[in-house]
Each structure stands twice: as structure tokens, then as C-alpha cells.
Amino acid sequence: MKRIIEHPILGKEKKRKKIKIIVNGKNMYAYKGETIAAALIANSHRGFSYTHRFNLPRGFFCGIGQCTDCSMIVNGVPNIRTCVTRVEEGMIIETQYGYGDKDENNEGS
């Protein structure tokens, strides 16, 4: 995992509890208190969603919840902005296709 351990402004990272999340059926580890996007990037996961019209991949962009590029399906709920949503133990995260409609997910497969 790639994480910033010591930051010139924020200082040295304090030890945090390691938790398990499930991303597209695969177990990954995150640290309590970090956002979903930070956990995914630390685990080298870059593709968060695919656009509705052209089925193009989207990833981390603004990091402050203003765009929708990092939207994913979290615990069955589509359009969750992962850059501002914190991880929870056992959270189920899935790549979102288009608007996140269940019927649309089946069409993209």
C-alpha cells in the first residue's frame, strides 16, 4: 500500500486501526478515518466509475466532493462520492457504470 506517512505540513501520521473493506468482491485494507478514495488509491485501485454515454473510465479528480468522477456504489447505494465518504469496517464498494441504476449495471457487463 502507498500512503503518505509523513507530510511536511500535516506532520507524521499517527497509528490508526486497520479495517477490511470489499471492493468489487476483493478484500482490501484501509485505515479507520480515511476516505474511500484514499483507501482505494493506496491499494492501487484507480478506476472508480464509467461514464453513462461513452463508457469511459473515471477516477479521482477534485477530491472535495464537487465533481462526480469518484462516485461508486457503496453498500448498494449508487452515486456515493468516495472522496468525502469515510471507510467503515466491512463496507462493500463497487465500480459504478453510468448513473448506477441496477438495470444499467447489467447492460454494461
Given this model, what pLDDT does residue 10 score?
62
State yes or no: pLDDT of 107 exceeds 70.
Answer: no
Q: Is 44 exposed, middle or buried (0-12, 13-18, 19+ CB in 10 A)?
A: exposed
**Over the stretch 70-106, which tens digit does the pLDDT of each residue have?**
999 999 999 999 999 999 999 999 999 998 875 554 4
Question: Which domains can be identified in the chain, with CATH numbers?
Answer: 17-107 (3.10.20.440)
Q: Which residues contact 26 (CB under 8 A, 6 or more apart)?
A: none
Higher pLDDT among residues 13 and 79, named by residue:
79
3-state per-residue secondary structure call for the chain: CCCCCEECCCEECCCCCEEEEEECCEEEEEECCCEHHHHHHHCCCCCCEECCCCCCEECCCCCCCCCCCCEEEECCEEEEECCCCECCCCCEEECEECCCCHHHHHHCC
Tell me the range of 12-21, 37-46, 54-63 where mean pLDDT is highest: 37-46
Higher pLDDT among residues 22 and 63, named by residue:
22
